[in-house]
């Protein structure tokens, strides 16, 4: 097959796979595709770091074969057991017959439980070093970033951090290096990945970044398992991670809603108008026009989230229930919030939304606001005033003033 390996440094090659067509990654809309990165270290002990999704096994082997015979691989390291990186592992073990396969102690368990392997995998502990002859790998456990088994590997002599999912993004391109791509595209896809995969673990990320700084290990290249490799200025993606993990609120309001007969839609647009009148950035996202993962990307740096739903059969509209469930799992922190919606005869939805948002630790700016059937001019004026109020309380919070007029 016509696949090439790409050289990173004197002794290291990218030998992964490009998935140009995947559009749904366990519920995350990958509208730019993704890559499954694997790396070949040409040390005395030839080492493969991570594999690929099982359906891309032949692409991995073809890329390796442009550098060495796959059977010449001595060691395989599995930094992360999720199947987009380990799916091909059992077949690669059969082809390569490596001397040893390594994973974290939790990774050994996870791989055995996934693949029921009749093969001994060697467990590595936090801080262990593996001698490859002329080169050395050091391992750091990164439990719950984002699985219990997760670890990163550092090639000491070449100053490369193989960071598995960390610092990655779902982005399929012909270019392999971040310095070959538009920085705004990198920031957008990096933020989407962080918001949808890593956000629940933001406090652990800050601790890990502090730990890496304290270790004082020079990192010239960050080689993640998805998306481009950071061979120049890896500090850029590290500083973005620090920013996103701190979750400091920006003067930005995201209005997320769905609608049946446009009543809730009219309310959403009037609230947005009020936010904009206060000079605060606003995003209006109807759920049947926007995927939940794109909504989470916008919520990542927003200071306030306003959610609206019509009342359907005494409850939430299904897309709004889906969004709330998804958002709850991702545990965003430090947001102001408000709920709204139009209704026909019972009108439970805004109250249910408000309870969900409070349960996520959000600070409610106003009581849930509901309008019967179609909002008239008075109701739309009230929505505009609510939008202004959300924006004003947010500006006050950002400027360090007390959040006057907030709702308990």
Which of 85, 252, 292, 388 contacts ligand FEO by CB under 6 A?
A: 85
Is residue 50 a contact residue for ligand FEO (CB under 6 A)? no
The DSSP symbol for 132 reads: -
> DSSP character for 198?
I
The β-bridge partners of 160 are: 155, 221
- Calpha distance 400→105 (Å, rounded): 45
Q: For the chain, give the number of residues.
A: 408
Look at residues 247, 262, 249 and name the one whose alpha carbon lies nearest to residue 308.
262
DSSP symbols for 4-43: --EEEETTEEE--EEESS--EETTEE-TT-EEE--EEE-S
> Does position 84 bind ligand FEO by CB under 6 A?
yes
Residue 309 Cβ, how far from ligand FEO at the closest point, in Å?
31
Name which of residues 122 to 151 contact ligand FEO (CB under 6 A): 146-147
Residue span binding ligand FEO (CB under 6 A) among the ranges 13-21, 51-59, 76-84, 316-324: 76-84
| Bridge partners of residue 104, in order along the sequence | 124
Q: At closest approach, how far in Å is the CB of 76 from ligand FEO?
A: 17
Shortest CB 181 distance to ligand FEO, Å: 19
How many residues contact ligand FEO, by CB under 6 A?
A: 9
Position 301 contacts ligand FEO (CB under 6 A)? no
Q: What is the DSSP string of 370-403?
A: EEESS--HHHHHHHHHHHHHHHHHHHHHHTT---
> Which residues have a catalytic role annotated?
26, 80, 82, 84, 146, 165, 193, 226
Comparison of 147 and 244: residue with beta carbon closer to ligand FEO: 147
53 binds ligand FEO (CB under 6 A): no
Binding mask 188-227 for ligand FEO (x = CB under 6 A): -------------------------------------xx-
Residues 35, 19: contact at Cβ < 8 Å? yes
Question: Side-chain half-sphere of 245: how many Cα atoms within 13 Å?
Answer: 20
224 to 243: interface string for ligand FEO, x by CB under 6 A: -xx-----------------
Our finding on whether 266 is near ligand FEO (CB under 6 A) is no
Q: How far is the CB of 90 from ligand FEO (least distance, A)?
A: 17
Radius of gyration for the chain, computed over Cα atoms and rounded to the nearest angstrom: 24
Q: Which residues bind ligand FEO (CB under 6 A)?
A: 80, 82, 84-85, 146-147, 165, 225-226
């Amino acid at each position: 097959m016509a696949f090439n390996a790409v050289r990173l440094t004197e002794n290291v090659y990218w030998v992964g796979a490009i998935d140009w067509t995947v559009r749904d990654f366990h519920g995350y809309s990958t509208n730019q595709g993704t890559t499954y990165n694997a790396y070949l270290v040409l040390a005395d002990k030839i080492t493969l770091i991570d594999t690929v999704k099982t359906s891309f096994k032949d692409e991995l082997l073809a890329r390796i074969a442009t550098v060495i015979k796959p059977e010449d691989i001595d060691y395989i390291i599995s930094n992360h057991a999720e199947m987009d990186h380990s799916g091909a592992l059992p077949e690669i073990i059969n082809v390569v017959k490596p001397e040893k396969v390594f994973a974290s102690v939790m990774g050994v368990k996870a791989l055995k439980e996934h693949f029921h392997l009749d093969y001994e995998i060697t467990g590595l502990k936090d801080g262990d070093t593996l001698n490859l002859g002329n080169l050395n790998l050091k391992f750091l456990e990164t439990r719950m970033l984002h699985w219990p088994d997760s670890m990163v590997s550092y090639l000491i002599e070449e100053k490369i951090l193989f960071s598995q999912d960390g610092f990655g993004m779902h982005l399929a391109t012909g270019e392999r290096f971040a310095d070959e791509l538009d920085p705004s595209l990198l920031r957008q896809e990096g933020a989407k990945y962080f918001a949808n995969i890593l956000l629940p673990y933001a406090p652990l990320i800050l601790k890990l970044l502090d730990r890496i700084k304290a270790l004082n290990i020079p990192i010239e290249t960050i080689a993640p398992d998805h998306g481009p490799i950071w061979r120049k200025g890896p500090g850029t993606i590290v500083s973005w991670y620090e920013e996103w993990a701190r979750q400091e609120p920006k003067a930005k309001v995201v209005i997320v809603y769905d609608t049946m007969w446009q009543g809730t839609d009219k309310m959403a647009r009037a609230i947005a108008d009020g936010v904009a009148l206060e000079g605060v950035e606003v995003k209006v996202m109807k759920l049947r026009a926007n995927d939940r993962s794109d909504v989470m990307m916008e919520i990542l740096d927003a200071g306030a989230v306003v959610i609206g739903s019509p009342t359907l059969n005494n409850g939430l509209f299904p897309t709004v229930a889906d969004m709330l469930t998804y958002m709850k799992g991702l545990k965003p922190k430090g947001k102001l919030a408000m709920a709204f919606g139009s209704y026909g005869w019972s009108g439970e939805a805004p109250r249910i939304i408000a309870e969900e948002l409070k349960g996520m630790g959000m600070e409610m700016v106003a009581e849930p606001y509901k309008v019967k059937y179609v909002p008239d001019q008075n109701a739309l004026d009230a929505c505009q005033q609510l939008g202004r109020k959300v924006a004003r309380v947010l500006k006050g919070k950002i400027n360090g003033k007390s959040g006057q007029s907030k709702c308990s």
